[in-house]
Amino acid sequence: MLRYTVRRLLGAVPLLLGVAVISFVIMQLAPGGPDALFARNGRMSQEQLDAIRRNMGLDRPVHEQLLVWLGNLAQGDLGTSYSQFRPVTAVIWDVFPNTVLLMAAGLGLSLVFSLAFGILAARRQYGFVDNLTSFVSYFGLAMPVFWFGLMLQLLFAVRLGWLPSAGKYAAQGGGDVWDLLKHLVLPAFTIAIGSIAAWSRYVRSSTLEEAGQDYVRTARAKGVRERQVVAGHVLRNALIPLVTVVGIDVPLYLTGAVLTETIFSWPGMGRLFFDSLTTRDYPVLMGTLVLGAVLIILGNLVADILYGLLDPRIKYG
Amino acid sequence: MINLVPSQDRSKADEPEPGTVNGLIQARIDGRIGRRELIRRAAALGIAAPVVGVMLHATSDLAFGAPNPARAAAQTEGTIPANAPTEPTGAPQEGGVLTTGTIEEPDTLNPYVTQLVTATDILTGIMDPLMRYDSTQQLRPALAEGFEISPDGLTYTFRLRQGVTFHNGDAFGAQDVIDSWKMIMNPDFGAFDQQGWEKIVDITSPDPTTVVMTTKEVYAPFLSYVGGSTYISPVKELAKGPQAFKQEFGRAPVGTGPMTFVEWLPKQQIVVEKFPGYWGEAAKLDRVIVRILPDDNTQLVQLRTGEIQMAAGSGSISATRVDEALGLEGIALLEHPTLGWSHLDLKHVDFLRATKVRQALDFATPSKDIIEKLLKGRALPSVADQAPGTWAFNPNIQPRPYDPEQAKTLLAEVGLTPGEEGVLQGKVPTTDPNVLDGEVKPFEMEIWGLAGDSQTQQIVQVIAQSWNAIGVKTSPQFQDVSTIWGPEGYQFNEKMTACLYSWFNSNDPDVMFYWHSSQIPDSPTGTGGNLPAYFNQYNFQAEIDRLTAAGAAETDQEKRKQIYFQIQELLHQEVPVIFVYWGKAYPAVTTKLGGFWPSAYNRMLWNVQEWYLTQ
């Protein structure tokens, strides 16, 4: 298992290099640049603009810029933000924990609700609960995130006034865990709704499939209690396909959070990425893209390792 | 933001134009159009089917309750002109906290490298310039108590205020001014704004409370730029060196202003609090919190829920959303003119080099309708480059009326005749821009505008339509801002192009940046604002060069005014660009805030020490 993990991690290095080079090239292909706005500013002379370009390293040829950037990356240096004039690591670190928090909350909600809905639905196929959760799932899948988010905001923040409309903490008097939770509820549900809908379908179908297997009949025939049959036998096997789906979806939380973070003014990576895109802040963009790639690779690796733990038949050598 | 209360409950006067996704949704909620009509109009606007589905869903009676025509119309107050400080009726309270919401996060709070107004909105409460513009465009003493100009106009002597301390406890003196200048001019630092400071050849201080600045030429905007808008940093911070100063000061600025910097939580908020040791009367409020919000949707929601009590400065309500903000309880909506002029650049190539052709396009541009119908009157007519209400504005020029017939006549006069499919064609000028004697070309143009800005898009569509109607084949193009101004921008290809955007003037009427031949970029990555003349200089280039340079060198305000009057007449006559409108700003603020007096001439927190809340 250890050898397998190390091999996978080493294999990720050329992959990351590829991601870095491709994103760098795509960024250079986009029209405009980080200095486009400077040139059309009445307060900027040609000498000043040249000095700024020199400071940013934009006066060098593109391939040289890429090599310098890769060289710094190898030393763990992501460069300096063009717009904020401070290290990219500091810029990202400011918001990264917030995104992880939102991801974790969304993931937790998704797992709890999709497992609950999936198992409830599978207990009686085509029964009332099954049809109801089916309906809710299709609704959740079909609904655009931004619309659902806005509706939650309108209902709970504007109409009912139960929850704050946006942000991570209240402007003043906040800052404690309770305040944080209140701010977290709506964005976490918004980000989770799609996964709850999709994952509960997976849980339902794999539970139904496992429930019809011989070993389940055997377990029941032995007189094992129903609760034990569902939790200990059916569920454990039904979870394996879910692990794959979750492993693939988790990194999407990171990138797909742009809309949710924007609607709820959540101070996370999605907003950072979007803001940096509009200002063509290449170092920050490259930093977030590489971090995203690392997380996707890690997510897949963790999912693969979890297989081995859940299913003894799968062995990595 | 859609107003969920049907219009019967709002003012009947200003109904949103149902020409956008939001406008259609609003019209449906208000009961002005039916479900079928919504689908028809959405299809006509080219809105994708899934979006139409969302629109229908959003406007179903189930969603928000059926429109009820029987409900009485509620009276909504209009906007209030910001021509004096706000004066709420209640009794002023001691201290208090005000939370305001901006829709753009500052890049840095270092005053010399920030590119964003949202940063100076806050900095102006933390740091002081030598002098400060009030809301009547007058320079008032700040760190300097007064100044003298030498008879030759080259030397400025500032008497500095005594007993001023920085937030770090250091005393303010002449050395702070000198070192600030040195930092701004240091090439390793890379200042964003050197305007005025680059004219200084030497600064001396005969004593700690006097600074003498010697300039290399007579430069009228000097006081406005150096005196009125550049903030003075403390020696101790500047001594850290260019890179450390840029980075550290940018996250924790230190000044002499009425507010001290407290904290900056990225993408969340920036907090400033009262500085008890302020040289003037100390601030009445304890704290001002600036919430950083992602867009104006969230901003309006938070104004409604009371999470923020203000949206001002660069985060003011945009003209297109005024209706929604008007209905908010406990929120007053102020209005004031801005120094931003929306115009169409006309790249001086082919037909566009001829004065009559440009005049014809001006006649064919329905600016009045754009202001009255699209912008609902929330803008001012524009004839040239000085803002109505400022001292350099020439009130004697009348805008050209919308007159397509006149436009057609002018185009026929220069020899343009209808060709295939009614598109005009003719010879392009070769040597004399007003004589069309070259190869034959059809009159085909592009109009560029900013992508993602619905207001710009509507205006561009309207103009394209009216130009098409006189035989000028016009196609709109929408691009993001970095593309427009980058090397692939419209100004660097030889197609006939117009581009709709706004320039923002400074408090001084100097306009060399827009028109002078020295401001024509020498390459697609070069600096300068005279973009229409990139391929061919204006046919009046010598005259506008002479006038704009004379304006910058004349220090007598009355004589200067005459020069700028002449420039405006020349611009109106020659139409190097089509002047469309002057924008207005709409700061929203709680009806309990007193002393608030926003204007185009200063930034949000300029007089924050005078703000107070009532009970």
pLDDT band at B5, cuts 50/70/90? very low
Closest-CA residue to A126 (of A208, A221, A191, A30): A208
Considering only CA atoms, give the Rg of chain B: 26
Residue B486 tokens, joined: 């980058």
- Nearest-5° Cα angle at B386, B381 to B389: 70
- Nearest-5° Cα angle at A235, A229 to A239: 165
A96-310 to CATH, choices 1.10.3720.10, 3.40.50.2000, 3.40.190.10, 3.30.1330.90: 1.10.3720.10
* Angstrom distance (rounded) from CA A154 to CA A167: 15
pLDDT band at B411, cuts 50/70/90? very high
Chain B residues inside the 8 Å CB shell of A85 = 108, 110, 113, 246-247, 250
Question: Over 80: is that where the pLDDT of A1 sits?
Answer: no
Q: Which of A171-175, A199-203, B410-414 has the highest average model confidence (pLDDT)? A: B410-414
Of the listed ranges A245-249, B46-50, B294-298, B428-432, the least confidently predicted one is B46-50
Mean pLDDT of B386-403: 94
E runs forming strands in B388-466: 417-418, 424-429, 436-442, 444-450
| Partner-chain contact B247 A85, CB within 8 Å | yes
pLDDT band at B335, cuts 50/70/90? very high
Closest-CA residue to B86 (of B595, B468, B564, B490): B595
Percent of chain A whose predicted confidence (pLDDT) is above 90: 11
List, as one string, the DSSP characters of B525-591. T---S--TTSSS--TTHHHHHHHHHHHHH---HHHHHHHHHHHHHHHHHH-SEEEEEEEEEB-EEET
Interface list for B 20-79 with A (CB within 8 A): 50, 54, 57-58
* Angstrom distance (rounded) from CA A257 to CA A132: 28
**Is the CB of residue A184 less than 8 Å from the CB of residue A231?**
no
| Partner-chain contact B482 A280, CB within 8 Å | yes
In sequence order, the 6+-apart residues with CB closer than 8 A to the CB of A274 are A258, A262
- Look up residue B223 and give its amino acid: L
Q: How many CA atoms lie within 13 A of B384 on its CB side?
A: 23
Chain A residues inside the 8 Å CB shell of B526 = 39, 46
CB atoms within 10 A of CB B488: 17
Residue B445 tokens, joined: 């143009």
| Partner-chain contact B267 A94, CB within 8 Å | yes
Question: Based on the number of CB atoms within 10 Å of its own CB, is A98 exposed (0-12), middle (13-18) or buried (19 or more)?
Answer: buried
Position B2 scores a pLDDT of 45
pLDDT band at A305, cuts 50/70/90? confident
**Is the CB of residue B608 less than 8 Å from the CB of residue B84?**
no
Greatest alpha-carbon pair distance for chain A in Å reads 87
* Angstrom distance (rounded) from CA B535 to CA B533: 6
| Ranges of each domain in chain A | 2-74, 96-310
Position B3 scores a pLDDT of 46
Position A140 scores a pLDDT of 84
Position B42 scores a pLDDT of 65
Please tell me which residue, B24 or B478, carries the higher pLDDT value: B478
Position A24 scores a pLDDT of 86
Residue A176 tokens, joined: 């404690």
pLDDT in tens, B148-179: 999 998 999 999 999 999 999 999 999 999 99
Torsion sign over Cα B84, B90, B95, B98: negative
pLDDT in tens, A26-65: 888 777 777 777 777 766 777 778 877 887 788 888 888 8
Q: For chain B, what is the mean pLDDT?
A: 87
First to last CA, chain A: 7
pLDDT band at B205, cuts 50/70/90? very high
**Is the CB of residue B1 less than 8 Å from the CB of residue B11?**
no
Chain B residues inside the 8 Å CB shell of A38 = 115, 192, 527
**Is the CB of residue B501 less than 8 Å from the CB of residue B484?**
yes
**Is the CB of residue A93 less than 8 Å from the CB of residue A272?**
no
* Angstrom distance (rounded) from CA B116 to CA B124: 13
* Angstrom distance (rounded) from CA B250 to CA A72: 24
Residue A101 tokens, joined: 């928090």
| Partner-chain contact B481 A46, CB within 8 Å | no
Look up residue B370 and give its DSSP letter: I
* Angstrom distance (rounded) from CA A233 to CA A227: 10
pLDDT band at B9, cuts 50/70/90? very low
Q: Which of B97, B108, B188 is nearest residue A84 as measured by Cβ atoms? A: B108
Describe the crossing of helices B541-553 and B557-574 by its angle, rounded to 10 degrees: 160
**Is the CB of residue A81 less than 8 Å from the CB of residue A284?**
yes
Question: Over 50: is that where the pLDDT of B73 sits?
Answer: no
Q: Give yes or no for B330 touching A (CB within 8 A).
A: no
pLDDT band at B29, cuts 50/70/90? low
pLDDT in tens, B444-485: 999 999 887 888 889 999 999 999 999 999 999 998 887 888
pLDDT band at B270, cuts 50/70/90? very high
Interface list for B 172-191 with A (CB within 8 A): 187-188, 190-191
Question: Over 80: is that where the pLDDT of B400 sits?
Answer: yes
Question: What is the SS3 assignment for chain A?
Answer: CHHHHHHHHHHHHHHHHHHHHHHHHHHHHCCCCCCHHHHCCCCCCHHHHHHHHHHHCCCCCHHHHHHHHHHHHHCCCCCECCCCCCEHHHHHHHHHHHHHHHHHHHHHHHHHHHHHHHHHHHHCCCCHHHHHHHHHHHHHHHCCHHHHHHHHHHHHHHHCCCCCCCCCCCCCCCCCHHHHHHHHHHHHHHHHHHHHHHHHHHHHHHHHHHHCCHHHHHHHHHCCCHHHHHHHHHHHHHHHHHHHHHHHHHHHHHHHHHHHHHHCCCCCHHHHHHHHHHCCCHHHHHHHHHHHHHHHHHHHHHHHHHHHHHCCCCCCC
| Partner-chain contact A45 B247, CB within 8 Å | no
| Partner-chain contact B482 A83, CB within 8 Å | no
Q: Which of A4-18, A110-124, B214-228 has the highest average model confidence (pLDDT)? A: B214-228
Mean pLDDT of A218-241: 83
Any idea how long chain B is? Answer: 615
Question: Over 70: is that where the pLDDT of A255 sits?
Answer: no
Mean pLDDT of A67-80: 86
**Is the CB of residue A141 less than 8 Å from the CB of residue A197?**
yes
Question: Over 90: is that where the pLDDT of B536 sits?
Answer: yes
CA distances (Å), origin B414, targets B402, B403, B425: 20, 17, 11
* Angstrom distance (rounded) from CA B6 to CA B572: 44
In sequence order, the 6+-apart residues with CB closer than 8 A to the CB of B454 are B20, B22, B320
Q: Give yes or no for A171 touching B (CB within 8 A).
A: yes
Please tell me which residue, A18 or A230, carries the higher pLDDT value: A18
Q: Give yes or no for B339 touching A (CB within 8 A).
A: no
CA closest to A59 among chain B residues: B525
Any idea how long chain A is? Answer: 317
* Angstrom distance (rounded) from CA A314 to CA B152: 90
Q: For chain A, what is the mean pLDDT?
A: 84
Closest-CA residue to B64 (of A151, A186, A145): A151
Position B49 scores a pLDDT of 55
Look up residue B143 and give its DSSP letter: S
* Angstrom distance (rounded) from CA B233 to CA B53: 56
CA distances (Å), origin A148, targets A145, A263, B296: 5, 10, 18
Q: Is B139 left (phi over 0), alpha (psi -120 to 50) or beta?
A: beta
Question: Over 80: is that where the pLDDT of A252 sits?
Answer: no
